[in-house]
C-alpha cells in the first residue's frame, strides 16, 4: 500500500497551503465578521488555477483528480472553512457538466469554470425536500422548445456572488408509473424569472453566500437539460458521493485547524504554574484530536482514491463524511474547552471554528442520512 501523495499532489498541497497562509488567514475573520463573500480571495484562487483544478485540461482546467481536490480542500479549510467549501462545491457541480453534459454545454460552461472566472451552484434542497430528495416539487414543463420552471430552492451555496454564472437545478419533468421523473437543468444567472433572494443570516459559514432562489415562469432552452430526461436522480446521486468527499476534506481541515489553534494556546496559557499543555487532561484532548484528524484524512483520501480508480466509492464516501464531520464538531467543542472562557470570545479564531463546525454534520446529507446509506450498503 502506498500512502504517499504523487509529486503533483504534493505540489498542489504546497500551493494551497502557502495561499491559505498568505492570502486567506489575514482576512478570514474580517470577512466572517462582515458576513461578506471574499471576492478577491476567489479571484486569486481562480488565477492560480485552484478553482479550475478538476476541470479537464482540454477546456483550460488542471485535469486534477479527486485526491488532489481533497488535499487542496483540506489545506484551505484549515484556515477558513467557507473558502474550502466553495472551492469543493464548485468542482463538484462543474463535474456534472463534465460527466453528463453535452458538447455544447461543455464548450459554453467549462472554459470559464476551468479558468476560475465563474462559480456554479447546485440546487437540490427545497422548503419541503431536504433529506428526502425525491420530495422536490420544483417543476419544469416543456413548452415550444423551452423549459418553463416554477418552484423554490433553499439554502443554495454561492448562487448570488458577483462571479456566480449558473446553477444546475434538480426538477420534476414528469411522472411515470406514479414515480416522479427527475432531471437536471442549467439555469444561467440573469435568466428572467430566476430570482435570487437575500443571503441568510447564519450561525457559521458567514462569509459563504447562501440564499433562497425562486423560479417563476423561468424559461431556458430545451438544450439546457443535462444528459437524458429522467436521469436527474442518477446524476445528482453521483455528484453527491463526490461532494461528500469534499465536505469530508473540509471537516478534516477544520479539525486540523482546531488542533493547531488549541495546541498553540495550550502551550502558552499558564495555570497552576505550568502551561496547560502540561496537564494530562489537556494532553488527552489534543492526542484524541490528532488521532481523529489522521483517521478521518485516511478515510477521505481512500474514498477519493477509489473514485480515481473508477471503483465503487459511495459507501466509503458516506463513511468518510460521517466520521470526519462528527470528529470536526468534537474537535471544535474540545478546542473551545481548551481555550476556556477565551474560546467563547470572537478575538480567538477557535470561536469561528466552533460556529463553522456544526453544519458539517448536516449539509451534503445529514449524519443520519449517511448512516442510512451505509446501512443500505451493508444489506439492511
Ligand X SMILES: Cc1cc2nc3c(=O)[nH]c(=O)nc-3n(C[C@H](O)[C@H](O)[C@H](O)COP(=O)(O)OP(=O)(O)OC[C@H]3O[C@@H](n4cnc5c(N)ncnc54)[C@H](O)[C@@H]3O)c2cc1C
Residues lying near ligand X in the complex (CB under 6 A)? 121-125, 130-131, 155-157, 202, 205, 210, 359, 362-366, 368-369
Min CB(234)–ligand X separation in Å: 16
Min CB(156)–ligand X separation in Å: 5
Question: Given the DSSP bridges, would you call strands 274-275 and 270-271 parallel, antiparallel or unpaired?
Answer: antiparallel
Closer CB to ligand X, 130 or 275, in the complex: 130
Min CB(238)–ligand X separation in Å: 15
- What residue is closest to ligand X based on CB? 130
Min CB(359)–ligand X separation in Å: 5
Residue 212 a catalytic site member = no
- Cβ-proximal residues to 143 (8 Å cutoff; 6+ apart), any chain: none
Q: How far apart are CA 112 and CA 103, in angstroms?
A: 15
Min CB(122)–ligand X separation in Å: 5
CB 304 within 8 A of CB 95: no
CB 98 within 8 A of CB 110: yes
CA dihedral 366, 154, 50, 242 (to 10 degrees): 40
Closer CB to ligand X, 121 or 261, in the complex: 121
CB 334 within 8 A of CB 258: yes
Element (H, E) at 26: none
Closer CB to ligand X, 120 or 306, in the complex: 120
- Cβ-proximal residues to 80 (8 Å cutoff; 6+ apart), any chain: 20, 24, 25, 28, 32, 207
- Cβ-proximal residues to 363 (8 Å cutoff; 6+ apart), any chain: 155, 247
Phi, psi angle pair for 113, to nearest 5° = -70, -40
Which among 75, 126, 212, 364 is annotated as catalytic? Answer: 364
Closer CB to ligand X, 170 or 225, in the complex: 170
Which residue, 14, 114, 29, 108, is CA-closest to 63? 114
Closer CB to ligand X, 58 or 131, in the complex: 131
Closer CB to ligand X, 281 or 380, in the complex: 380
Q: How far apart are CA 133 and CA 305, in angstroms?
A: 27
Closer CB to ligand X, 163 or 282, in the complex: 163
Q: How far apart are CA 323 and CA 300, in angstroms?
A: 9
Phi-psi label, residue 50: left if phi above 0, alpha if psi -120 to 50, beta otherwise: alpha
Min CB(274)–ligand X separation in Å: 41
Min CB(251)–ligand X separation in Å: 14
Q: How far apart are CA 217 and CA 20, in angstroms?
A: 42
Closer CB to ligand X, 9 or 210, in the complex: 210
CA dihedral 123, 230, 308, 322 (to 10 degrees): 50
As a 3-state breakdown, the chain gives helix, strand, coil percent values, each rounded to 5, of 55, 20, 25
Q: Cell numbers at residue 187, please?
A: 439555469
Min CB(279)–ligand X separation in Å: 36
- Cβ-proximal residues to 261 (8 Å cutoff; 6+ apart), any chain: 335, 339, 348, 349, 350, 353
Q: Which residues are catalytic?
A: 364
Amino acid at each position: 500500500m502506498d500512502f504517499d501523495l504523487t509529486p503533483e499532489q504534493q505540489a498542489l498541497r504546497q500551493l494551497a497551503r502557502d495561499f491559505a497562509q498568505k492570502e486567506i488567514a489575514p482576512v478570514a475573520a474580517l470577512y466572517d465578521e462582515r458576513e461578506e463573500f471574499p471576492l478577491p480571495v476567489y479571484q486569486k484562487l481562480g488565477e492560480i488555477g485552484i478553482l479550475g483544478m478538476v476541470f479537464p485540461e482540454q477546456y483550460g482546467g488542471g485535469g486534477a483528480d479527486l485526491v488532489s481536490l481533497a488535499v487542496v480542500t483540506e489545506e484551505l479549510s484549515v484556515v477558513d472553512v467557507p473558502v474550502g467549501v466553495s472551492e469543493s462545491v464548485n468542482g463538484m457541480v462543474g463535474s456534472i457538466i463534465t460527466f453528463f453534459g453535452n458538447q455544447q454545454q461543455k464548450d459554453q460552461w467549462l472554459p470559464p469554470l476551468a479558468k476560475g472566472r465563474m462559480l456554479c451552484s447546485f440546487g437540490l434542497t427545497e422548503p419541503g425536500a431536504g433529506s428526502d430528495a425525491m420530495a422536490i416539487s420544483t417543476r419544469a414543463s416543456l413548452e415550444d422548445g423551452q423549459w418553463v420552471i416554477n418552484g423554490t430552492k433553499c439554502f443554495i451555496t454561492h448562487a448570488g456572488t458577483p462571479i456566480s454564472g449558473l446553477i444546475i437545478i434538480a426538477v420534476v419533468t414528469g411522472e411515470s408509473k406514479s414515480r416522479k421523473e427527475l432531471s437536471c437543468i442549467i439555469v444561467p444567472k440573469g435568466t428572467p424569472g430566476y430570482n435570487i433572494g437575500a443571503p441568510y443570516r447564519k450561525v457559521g459559514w458567514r462569509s459563504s453566500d447562501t440564499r433562497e432562489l425562486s423560479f417563476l415562469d423561468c424559461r431556458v432552452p430545451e438544450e439546457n437539460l443535462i444528459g437524458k430526461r429522467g436521469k436527474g436522480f442518477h446524476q445528482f446521486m453521483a455528484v453527491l458521493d463526490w461532494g461528500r468527499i469534499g465536505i469530508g476534506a473540509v471537516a478534516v481541515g477544520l479539525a486540523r485547524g482546531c488542533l493547531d489553534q488549541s495546541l498553540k494556546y495550550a502551550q502558552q496559557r499558564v495555570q497552576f504554574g505550568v502551561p496547560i499543555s502540561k496537564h494530562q487532561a489537556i494532553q488527552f484532548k489534543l492526542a484524541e484530536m490528532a488521532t481523529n484528524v489522521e483517521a478521518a484524512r485516511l478515510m477521505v483520501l481512500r474514498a477519493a482514491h477509489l473514485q480515481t480508480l473508477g471503483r465503487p466509492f459511495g459507501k466509503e464516501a458516506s463513511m468518510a463524511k460521517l466520521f470526519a464531520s462528527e470528529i470536526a464538531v468534537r474537535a471544535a467543542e474540545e478546542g473551545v474547552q481548551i481555550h476556556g472562557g477565551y474560546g467563547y470570545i470572537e478575538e480567538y479564531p477557535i470561536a469561528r471554528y466552533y460556529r463553522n463546525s456544526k453544519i458539517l454534520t448536516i449539509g451534503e446529507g445529514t449524519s443520519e442520512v449517511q448512516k442510512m446509506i451505509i446501512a443500505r450498503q451493508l444489506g439492511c
